[in-house]
Amino acid sequence: MQRLSTTTLVLLGSAVWLGLAPIGRAQSALTITSDTLTADLPDTLTFALQADNAARITDVQLNYGVNARSCQEGAASQAPEFTPGTAIEASWTLDLRDTGSFPVGAELWWNWEVSDDAGAVTTTERRTQRLEDERFSWRTTTRGAVTVAWHQGDQAFGEALAAIAASSLTRITRDAGLELADPIRIYVYPDPAEIAQVILFQPEWVGGLAFPEHNIVMAAIAPGEDAWAREVLPHELMHLVSGALTFNCLGARMPTWLSEGLSRFAEDNVDPALAAQVREMALAGTLPHLSALANAFSAYGGEARVSYEQSLQVVAFLIETHGAEKMSALLDAIAAGTAIDAALTRVYGLTTYTLDSAWRESFGAPTREAAVATPLTVPTLALWTAVARSSSTPAPSDTPLPGVTETPAPVIESTPRPVESPTAAAPGGGLAPCGAGAAALVVVSGALRRRRVGA
């Protein structure tokens, strides 16, 4: 028997499956001797089957998928190469460089259809495996809907992270009116480089990644970085919540100002100097119109910080003026496939244009003409955190998600995409614009310096 690596979920021993033979044909007994999924992160996942059968096995098909929100058909199928016979070994490797990475903690499932020359077709029992990062020995703690996994730091560190996450979700529900009932998993690494080693196309300094389709956050927080934890966890958790609540297959999505404004709102972290700067720019008529923040933020740190702060202030204005329930209704409308202006009109009686004016007027700033939205170029400065649109698309040949074509180009242009595949525009590995909040960006540069110097 082949040696199985430690990252293998093993269904060893023998299991016998009765074939579902067509009437009039003999049933066949298939004996599974090994049925495994082996991860070799970040590059590949390999499904492997060893089986014996009384009759000669002539055909094997693998069906697999991921348990995540997706607009795709649930399953992909592959025909692995194998040598027909009464004892077979079949395997098929999913190349994540084509499909994009799954987050650590993603749940994959698979089964096999085995046909023999007696006419029996046997479908093996569906297996499910969570993708774990087995380089480290993880501790976990669960508080409410949140499970935190960490591998460096003591129990108190993990408990503190879980407490931050739980209170953040409580605040997101109480203050912003948004609630996600699904279980959430947070994987905490002490060093961003460790995340980049298992998630493709990530810069080594990415501080937090939200995978809304999977309800998973991966974050780089070292023991002792409490202030950073209080920024990055609420920010990324809000991306999970807002991403889940607006999920739809109709092409409607949150504009960047709404997504990032909500995540900054969740941080509960004010930067008075930056807040004052944004208001002064608005009063002077130099602050961009909200419509310019629909798709991407500038990659220049200073401009991006202003955009995050402006987004935060507009979101806070909506919530404080109209109540948290309406924010929930706004996300519901987007989830129902309503484009942002129609959704704003339905819930608030506003459009992006009149919202921008109402917000400016609330502190005496002059209104502005809406800019003709021109795509922002540039992204040379990668932002600290990101929303990963991870692959929930096991089959690279599948059609991209509806709406994905409207997804702005990755902000992190310095992240190379080594594989030019037909799925380049598909969810795999792409990054939606994100970044830390303004305050987090400040922390970031500090953290980067510290990490470069210290470690």
User: Candidates 64-72, 93-101, 200-208, 263-271 — which segment interacts with Zn ion by CB under 5 A?
Assistant: 263-271
- Closest distance to Zn ion from the beta carbon of 211 (Å): 13
Q: Indicate the residue among 206 and 434 with the shorter CB distance to Zn ion.
A: 434
Distance of CA 115 to the CA centre of its chain: 37
Residue 79 one-letter amino acid:
A
Q: Indicate the residue among 11 and 388 with the shorter CB distance to Zn ion.
A: 388
Q: Does 269 bind Zn ion (CB under 5 A)?
A: no
C-alpha–C-alpha distance, residues 326 and 321, integer Å: 10
Strand partners, 386: 209
- Closest distance to Zn ion from the beta carbon of 433 (Å): 8
- Closest distance to Zn ion from the beta carbon of 385 (Å): 6
Q: Indicate the residue among 120 and 388 with the shorter CB distance to Zn ion.
A: 388
- Closest distance to Zn ion from the beta carbon of 240 (Å): 11
CB-CB contact of 352 with 373 (8 Å): no
Q: Does 263 bind Zn ion (CB under 5 A)?
A: yes
- Closest distance to Zn ion from the beta carbon of 215 (Å): 16
- Closest distance to Zn ion from the beta carbon of 344 (Å): 21
Instruction: Output phi, psi for 73, to 5 deg.
Output: -55, 150
Q: Indicate the residue among 253 and 360 with the shorter CB distance to Zn ion.
A: 253
Residues 6+ apart with CB under 8 A from 18: 27, 29, 122
Number of residues that bind Zn ion (CB under 5 A): 3
Q: Does 242 bind Zn ion (CB under 5 A)?
A: no
User: Candidates 73-81, 184-192, 211-219, 426-434 — which segment interacts with Zn ion by CB under 5 A?
Assistant: 426-434
- For the segment 67-96, give every residue that binds Zn ion (CB under 5 A): none
Q: Indicate the residue among 104 and 432 with the shorter CB distance to Zn ion.
A: 432
User: Candidates 217-225, 293-301, 338-346, 432-440 — which segment interacts with Zn ion by CB under 5 A?
Assistant: 432-440
Q: Indicate the residue among 57 and 165 with the shorter CB distance to Zn ion.
A: 165
- Closest distance to Zn ion from the beta carbon of 267 (Å): 10
Q: Which of 434, 439, 443, 444 binds Zn ion (CB under 5 A)?
A: 434
| Beta-strand pair 29-40/44-66 | antiparallel
- Closest distance to Zn ion from the beta carbon of 308 (Å): 8
- Closest distance to Zn ion from the beta carbon of 217 (Å): 11
Residues 6+ apart with CB under 8 A from 13: none
Q: Indicate the residue among 301 and 402 with the shorter CB distance to Zn ion.
A: 301
User: Candidates 133-141, 154-162, 253-261, 407-415 — which segment interacts with Zn ion by CB under 5 A?
Assistant: 253-261
User: Candidates 29-37, 256-264, 371-379, 392-400 — which segment interacts with Zn ion by CB under 5 A?
Assistant: 256-264
Residue 381 one-letter amino acid:
L
Q: Indicate the residue among 287 and 411 with the shorter CB distance to Zn ion.
A: 411
Q: Indicate the residue among 208 and 394 with the shorter CB distance to Zn ion.
A: 208
- Closest distance to Zn ion from the beta carbon of 328 (Å): 20
Strand partners, 88: 51
Q: Indicate the residue among 241 and 434 with the shorter CB distance to Zn ion.
A: 434
| Chain contacts with Zn ion (rule: CB under 5 A) | 260, 263, 434
